[in-house]
Amino acid sequence: MNAARTMIVHGDCQAEAVAAVLGRDPVVSERFRVIYSRSYDHPVEGRGNLPPADVSSCAVLCEQHDPIGFRQQALLPANCFTVKFPALDLNLLWPFNCVNPYNVPEPPLFPFGRFPYGDRVIVAKIDEGMPPAEIVKFYLERWDDYKLDLERLRSLEYARINARDTRCDIKMAGQVAERFALRQLFWAVNHPTNPLLEELIAQILRACERIDPQLVDADVSSTLATYFGPLGPLGAVSIPVHPKVAEYFELEWYDPRATYRNWDGSTFSYTEYFEALVRFSYANKTARLPA
């Protein structure tokens, strides 16, 4: 095989995870140098371009669907094979997800901050000036005061992820819709667990079979287990699912006693997570107030 050939995986943190798995798989790594290309501006590392030689030797571009796309497209060889795959996310399990406006980046250890995932209900109560203990109590006990139409949300989500699939060679919307209640597919709204990531990578390799038929012999499950363990490359953080959301969607895997990991390595129960989120966010809001 031509050891100079490269396989570029372009996209967000999910694409980085795909590249990390492919680069460690013995079948893939024997045939390609797998290189990750970032599609977003990292708060510390920026975005950056790949060396031209890596792009000009690219045999396969695995490109996550993005409105901008791979910025070094003009350097790709004419015979480069491109396969487009979707980002994996699901708002159904975290219907109140939002960017936390009170999160603070702490580079280099926490370039995205400690609590980048916010909750609209909690943020609204912080903005109103409700005391932290009352915010947690409200969130835990007053579902009827802030609940939304989960069935309508389901319809909107399915329409969204199916529409995205139409722009990709790899189709994942059906997998997500059919399996999310049966098995935990996400740690957070945009961080898939090993089973879903494995399916995505397997489909990418099947799509690349015409370039190298032996790629389909890759054992993605074994590579994930060997190098990344049960948490996978994206399991450093997990976000609690609201019990009422779990009840509505009849999540078979949901465990109300589960613990949740945060970026700094700490673990929380369901209640402790929201106490920590409120305490952290409230403190940062207070710190920003003028003296």
Predicted confidence (pLDDT) per residue in 222-272, tens digit: 999 999 999 999 999 999 999 999 999 999 999 999 999 998 889 999 999
Residue closest to 134 by CA, chosen among 25, 142, 210? 142
pTM comes to 0.94
Predicted confidence (pLDDT) per residue in 1-13, tens digit: 445 689 999 999 9
Contact in structure between 25 and 223 (CB atoms under 8 Å): yes
Predicted confidence (pLDDT) per residue in 62-120, tens digit: 999 988 899 999 999 999 999 999 999 999 999 999 999 999 888 888 999 999 999 99
What proportion of the chain, given as a percentage, has pLDDT over 70?
Answer: 97
Residue 30 is predicted with a pLDDT of 94
At 154, give phi and psi (nearest 5°).
-60, -45
Q: How far apart are CA 11 and CA 8, in angstroms?
A: 10
The answer to whether the peptide bond before residue 108 is cis (omega within 30 degrees of 0) is yes
Residue 72 is predicted with a pLDDT of 95
Cβ–Cβ contacts within 10 Å for residue 62, how many? 29
Q: How far apart are CA 276 and CA 261, in angstroms?
A: 12
